[in-house]
Amino acid sequence: MYTDQTGAATVRIAMPVNMQSSLIFHYNLKLYDGDGDMFDSVSLKRFVMQSVVDNVVSFRVHAPAAAEFLLDIFANSVTPREYLTGEPMKFKSVCKFKIVCSELHTVMVPLPDCASGEWGPVKATRLFGLVPITHPDALIFAGKDLEIQFRMSKPLTDFMSTLHKNGADEKKLSKCVTHRIIDEDIVSFVINFPEEGQYGFDVYTREISAPSLGGASEHRPHSPNIRAPPSSGRNNKCLLTHCCKYLINSSKRN
């Protein structure tokens, strides 16, 4: 597959309708002529945007340099309960694509350093029953302020979020986000962007009234996006787990 002059190429895979609620995809991008998966000390994964619309999963590659790359796509059928246990999940390689960027006329920057996996709220709905009210798409164009709302179709607790921007201090960015629960079933996140630019926004949560799982699970490729809860000794709660992420372009013009 050949990129355009901006270094972009998109792979789209249709999922069987009867499996789209359980299939989870991941990917790896590396140089074709070796095992290198870094570019200027940045993971090549951050030059791929994975998203899901209806029953189609898309992998949008933005090559950072004129070179040949290997895009390896993995998948597994996972239930919400299996995802939330923190046990390692073995993903199978389902297809590979050689991505050829012959020339590059645009300087590409990596995506913000968010949790791995797909962008957008589809995963939140599929695994947590968290339905987007305000922003159903992975990409958001915003001004200086933004409010994102979800409706909970089942009890969730301990929401946590992280804001990322290339070159920015994440501790300072953490002060730019607040959240609150409205009418018991709506969670609202308010972001006040300190400056214009591209941001990544991660959301974490966990279910209530689930069997206690004990200790913490590492954040690793085969058990992705699961973090230790602030207090893992409490009963009846799952591990704090990555729920979804958004790519946000903040500009005064929006």
Encode pLDDT of 107-143 as tens digits: 889 999 999 999 999 999 998 999 999 999 999 999 9
Give CA–CA dist 47/27, Å, rounded.
11
Read off the pLDDT band of 60 (50, 70, 90). very high
Contact indicator for 62, 108 with CB cutoff of 8 Å: yes
Question: What's the whole-model pTM score?
Answer: 0.87
Per DSSP, the three-state class of 197 is strand
- Reported as a single tens digit per residue, the pLDDT across 24-36 is 999 999 999 987 9
- Give residue 220's pLDDT: 33
Position 86 confidence tier, pLDDT thresholds 50, 70, 90: low
**pLDDT greater than 70 at residue 230:** no
Question: What torsion, rounded to 10 degrees, do the Cα atoms 73, 76, 78, 82 define?
Answer: -90
* Cα separation values, 215 from 148, 230, 233, Å: 31, 11, 8
Q: In the structure encoding, which two tokens stand for residue 5, read together?
A: 């002059």
Cα separation, 206 vs 224, in Å, equals 15
The closest alpha carbon to 67, from 34, 31, 43, 41, belongs to 31
**Beta-ladder partners of 72:** 28, 96
For 91-154, give the DSSP string: PEEEEEEEEE-----S---PPP---SS-BBSHHHHHHH-EEESS--SSEEEE-SEEEEEEEESS
Query: pLDDT tens across 35-53, in order?
Result: 799 999 999 999 999 999 9
Q: What is the mean pLDDT of the chain?
A: 88
